[in-house]
Chain A
Amino acid sequence: MSDTVNTRSEIVFITDAQDSNPNGNPLGENRPRRDPVTDQAVVTDVRLKRYLRDQLIDDGHGVFVKKTDGTSATRAELALDVLDDVTSEEDLEEVDVEADFLAAATDVRYFGATLSFNADDEGLEAAVAEHFNSGNYTGPVQFSPARSLNATELNDESSMLTSVISTGGDNDVGGYGLDDHRLKYAIFPFHGLVDEHGAEDTGLSEADVRRLDTLCWRALKNQTISRSKVGQEPRLYARVEYAKDGFHAGDLHNGFELESDHSKPDAELRNVTDLTLEVKPFIDRLANAADHIETVHVVGSEYLELSYDGEPVGTAAELPSILEDHGISATEIDVYADYEETLPADD
């Protein structure tokens, strides 16, 4: 595909959760996932991708992996139905069903998918499988599970929801408990990569990557709306777009830590205003790799304070100018002006 993205990007996406359960453990009474040794909270890549897919659906994009109760358009499926007409290897040249499928399934272009093909005619099956990259689409966009920068505590006050019921007219009204566990506060740096060579397999386009710049932000704003998910916010998004030489700095999410002089102790953190994020390791790492960097696409929250080497340097919203001060090219993302440019065209 001609407009396939051909530069690598590395993403740091910092979110936080206040009095919220950002990712419950289904085998642990849906308690927030935590590392039992360090008390750091954990949010899986699966949870983050669900937010992103849900935002894609809300924006009207075709999505292959749907909500369980969703009624979103199933255009991806319809594209595959065209295979009904494919009875010979020649037909594959006539109907470019793979291109239609990938064009319809926005989430597959980002995160990949697995398909398998059946046809009695071995030659045909092999041809289709080859056409479809054997049915294995590895996602060119990957996010790692995130671990909170702080040791977290559970909010005991909210641990019980009581549902009041009466079983019949003469019976007393009784209550029974439902577990509801939330974190008091946690701040998570997600680490993501866009692999320019993996992009060839799914046709991930420049526009798709530009869409990520507003999608992550809007997904955390718009999709964290259920009872236990409220209280999460995007705080800092930085996509480092590298030159076309196969280089990426790596490990960028580890370039952030809580600045001890300007942050409350972990046990007292309740709110984003209780902390300052030290960004020296992040900025120094980028400055060392400046030759490999095209630009850093940034959007940040004005509530998140940053420091460099212990000195306050402004809020996350000011990160672009902070980066420029250290000789790193930066581009500000205007989420609400930019996102409309990557919405699906009206049919």
Chain B
Amino acid sequence: MTESSGATAGHGTGDWEAPVISDGVPDRCLQCTIRADWGHFRRIDRTVTKQTYRIPPRTTIAGLLAAIAGLDRDSYYDAFSLERSAIGIEVLEPVRTMTMPSLGLGTNPSETFERAGGTGRKTVQVEYPDSTTNRQIHSYEYLVDPAYRLSIATEDQAVYETLANRLDAGTSHYTPSMGLSELLATVTTPEAVETSVGSVAGDGTSVSVASAIPDATDAVIPQPGQTQHVERVPAAMAADASGRWTTDYADYAFAGGESIEAAPAELSLGTVGDRAIAFY
């Protein structure tokens, strides 16, 4: 990790102590909001059409935070594992999508690639998209004006500290994007980027939750006139030398821009500001 800057006056080493997470709820968390004109979180269970998830998968959020902090690819999965981190996702705007096809180069190695170099037996051969042939049509589904507020905690001291410094200074190592590198995103933070997480008051049977509700669709209490979405998204991943893979999924329930009534029993709830957030 190369750091060109980071700490601002008043936040030297030690000022950002990693939170303690118990029963899935951190005692403190970082807050930021990410917005963009377009977003695309490609569903991993579709092949030809590039459909998008409506909320960023937890694994995508980990990648975004790693980019801001300047962590290398494959180096941050432990810091954002389900055991060591807790993330709350608020969907701030009603979700709308628009489909845009684009003509692109094929990426099927056996059909649309050119080769250069040797035979590939003893010498090296490189394959790359043949850019002189006709383009293929790829249909992408984009989110229009996506906006999410994140509440973030990890017990990894170094990662937490780097991230806190970056968010506090309003800087980023790699430039943040909303799912695809060209979908440039803007990250904003409240004046106090770190906040304590309080317990949630309630009668024990119903709580109004501002965030998306993970893995507890049974906990959701439907309300008249409210449209709720439920979406199954990747939640955690692991990597070794051969690649990376998803290790866990979560079913998130959300209603764009609105709180959802839920039974608190199965949820890891905390209060961030004046909002009840379900951490996962």
Question: Which residues of A pack against B, CB within 8 Å?
Answer: 8, 25-27, 33, 35-37, 42, 44-46, 64-68, 70, 77, 80-87, 112-121, 124-125, 128, 135, 138-139, 142-145, 147, 191-193, 195, 197-198, 244-248, 250-251
A-B contact pairs, 19 of them (CB 8 A): A25-B100, A42-B100, A64-B128, A66-B132, A68-B133, A80-B117, A83-B118, A86-B118, A114-B107, A115-B128, A116-B109, A116-B128, A117-B125, A119-B124, A124-B124, A142-B184, A246-B172, A248-B175, A250-B184
Instruction: Tell whether, in the assembled complex, residue B128 and residue A247 are in contact, meaning their CB atoms are under 8 Å apart.
Output: no
Instruction: Tell whether, in the assembled complex, residue B131 and residue A66 are in contact, meaning their CB atoms are under 8 Å apart.
Output: yes
Q: Which of A118, A142, A195, A244 contacts B125, CB < 8 Å?
A: A118
Least CB separation from B144: chain A residue: A35
Q: Which of A46, A85, A114, A246 contacts B173, CB < 8 Å?
A: A246
- Shortest CB-to-CB span from A93 to chain B, Å, is 14
Q: Which of A25, A46, A144 contacts B183, CB < 8 Å?
A: A144
Q: Which of B35, B123, B172, B181 contacts A83, CB < 8 Å?
A: B123
Mark B116-157 against chain A: 1 for CB-CB distance below 8 A, else 0: 111011111111110111110101001010000000000000
Binds A, one of B10-18, B23-31, B163-171, B209-217: B163-171
Interface residue total, chain B, C-beta cutoff 8 A: 59
- CB-CB under 8 A for A145 and B126, given A35-B144, A68-B133, A247-B170: no
Instruction: Tell whether, in the assembled complex, residue A143 and residue B137 are in contact, meaning their CB atoms are under 8 Å apart.
Output: no
Instruction: Tell whether, in the assembled complex, residue A114 and residue B129 are in contact, meaning their CB atoms are under 8 Å apart.
Output: yes
> What are the residues of chain A within 8 A of B170 when measuring CB–CB?
247
Q: Which of B35, B100, B166, B182 contacts A144, CB < 8 Å?
A: B182
Sample of 18 further A-B pairs with CB below 8 A, known A84-B123, A142-B175: A46-B104, A64-B128, A67-B132, A83-B117, A87-B122, A115-B126, A116-B113, A118-B120, A119-B118, A119-B120, A142-B177, A144-B37, A192-B184, A193-B175, A197-B173, A244-B5, A251-B35, A251-B186
Instruction: Tell whether, in the assembled complex, residue B128 and residue A113 are in contact, meaning their CB atoms are under 8 Å apart.
Output: yes
Complex Cα distance A25/B101, Å? 7
- Shortest CB-to-CB span from A43 to chain B, Å, is 10
> What are the residues of chain B within 8 A of A77 when measuring CB–CB?
114, 116
> What are the residues of chain B within 8 A of A35 when measuring CB–CB?
98, 144
B103 within 8 A of A: yes
Complex Cα distance A245/B181, Å? 21
Q: Which of A68, A144, A197 contacts B184, CB < 8 Å?
A: A144
Complex Cα distance A124/B144, Å? 45
Mark B161-205 against chain A: 1 for CB-CB distance below 8 A, else 0: 000001001111111010001111111000000000000000000
- Shortest CB-to-CB span from B51 to chain A, Å, is 15
Complex Cα distance A116/B125, Å? 8
Q: Which of B98, B102, B175 contacts A46, CB < 8 Å?
A: B102
Complex Cα distance A195/B142, Å? 23
Question: Which has the most chain B C-beta neighbours within 10 Å: A66, A70, A118, A245?
Answer: A118
- Shortest CB-to-CB span from B243 to chain A, Å, is 11
Instruction: Tell whether, in the assembled complex, residue B182 and residue A115 are in contact, meaning their CB atoms are under 8 Å apart.
Output: no
- Shortest CB-to-CB span from B75 to chain A, Å, is 14
B270 within 8 A of A: no
Complex Cα distance A66/B123, Å? 27
> What are the residues of chain A within 8 A of B135 when measuring CB–CB?
68
> What are the residues of chain B within 8 A of A80 when measuring CB–CB?
116-117, 126, 128
Question: Which residues of B pack against A, CB within 8 Å?
Answer: 2, 4-6, 35-38, 70, 96, 98, 100-105, 107, 109, 113-114, 116-118, 120-129, 131-135, 137, 139, 142, 144, 166, 169-175, 177, 181-187
Complex Cα distance A303/B38, Å? 30
Instruction: Tell whether, in the assembled complex, residue A64 and residue B131 are in contact, meaning their CB atoms are under 8 Å apart.
Output: yes
> What are the residues of chain B within 8 A of A67 when measuring CB–CB?
132
Instruction: Tell whether, in the assembled complex, residue A198 and residue B174 are in contact, meaning their CB atoms are under 8 Å apart.
Output: yes
Instruction: Tell whether, in the assembled complex, residue A144 and residue B38 are in contact, meaning their CB atoms are under 8 Å apart.
Output: yes
> What are the residues of chain B within 8 A of A128 when measuring CB–CB?
124
Instruction: Tell whether, in the assembled complex, residue A86 and residue B123 are in contact, meaning their CB atoms are under 8 Å apart.
Output: yes
Instruction: Tell whether, in the assembled complex, residue B124 and residue A117 are in contact, meaning their CB atoms are under 8 Å apart.
Output: yes
Instruction: Tell whether, in the assembled complex, residue B101 and residue A83 are in contact, meaning their CB atoms are under 8 Å apart.
Output: no
Least CB separation from B115: chain A residue: A118
> What are the residues of chain B within 8 A of A125 when measuring CB–CB?
124
- Shortest CB-to-CB span from B132 to chain A, Å, is 6
Complex Cα distance A35/B70, Å? 35
Instruction: Tell whether, in the assembled complex, residue B175 and residue A8 are in contact, meaning their CB atoms are under 8 Å apart.
Output: yes
Instruction: Tell whether, in the assembled complex, residue A118 and residue B124 are in contact, meaning their CB atoms are under 8 Å apart.
Output: yes
Least CB separation from A131: chain B residue: B124
- Shortest CB-to-CB span from A125 to chain B, Å, is 7
Instruction: Tell whether, in the assembled complex, residue A36 and residue B98 are in contact, meaning their CB atoms are under 8 Å apart.
Output: yes
Complex Cα distance A8/B181, Å? 16
> What are the residues of chain A within 8 A of B114 when measuring CB–CB?
77
Complex Cα distance A65/B133, Å? 10
Least CB separation from A134: chain B residue: B73
Instruction: Tell whether, in the assembled complex, residue A33 and residue B100 are in contact, meaning their CB atoms are under 8 Å apart.
Output: yes
> What are the residues of chain A within 8 A of B184 when measuring CB–CB?
142, 144, 191-193, 250
Instruction: Tell whether, in the assembled complex, residue B126 and residue A244 are in contact, meaning their CB atoms are under 8 Å apart.
Output: no
Instruction: Tell whether, in the assembled complex, residue A247 and residue B124 are in contact, meaning their CB atoms are under 8 Å apart.
Output: no
> What are the residues of chain A within 8 A of B6 when measuring CB–CB?
246
Q: Which of A26, A124, A145, A246 contacts B5, CB < 8 Å?
A: A246
Least CB separation from B98: chain A residue: A35
> What are the residues of chain A within 8 A of B133 when measuring CB–CB?
68
- Shortest CB-to-CB span from A239 to chain B, Å, is 14
